[in-house]
Amino acid sequence: MALSISVGGFLLFVLLSSFLPDVLNRPLFGHVTLGLAGGVGQFVVMALTAWRYTVHMERRVDPAADRLRAELHRDAAAQARVPRQQRRFGGW
């Protein structure tokens, strides 16, 4: 969800700058325009998206990868204990 929101925000900014540049040239305060504030806002959106991606990977994907890695190591250790003539497939 966070990814689709951030991609949508980036797309909206590009479309506004391409087709409605007058909207982005409106001053907010001083020399700061809506386009400049939107450009800086994209950095904030990118940082939030990267943070949520990191949290998701640490909570969901990394534990699954660790379980799979441990299972592969157990299988390799069990296969190493089997005598060579009892193995079904040869080694590389």
Distance CA 34, CA 48 (A): 21
**Is residue 45 within 8 Å of residue 6, measured between CB atoms?**
yes
pTM assigned to the model: 0.62
**Is residue 2 within 8 Å of residue 48, measured between CB atoms?**
yes
- Judged against a pLDDT cut of 80, whether residue 89 lies above it is answered with no
Task: State CA 37 to chain mean position distance.
Answer: 24
Q: How confident is the model at residue 2 (pLDDT cuts 50, 70, 90)?
A: low
At position 59, the amino acid (one-letter code) is R
Q: How confident is the model at residue 76 (pLDDT cuts 50, 70, 90)?
A: confident
- Report pLDDT digits (tens) over 29-41: 999 999 999 999 8
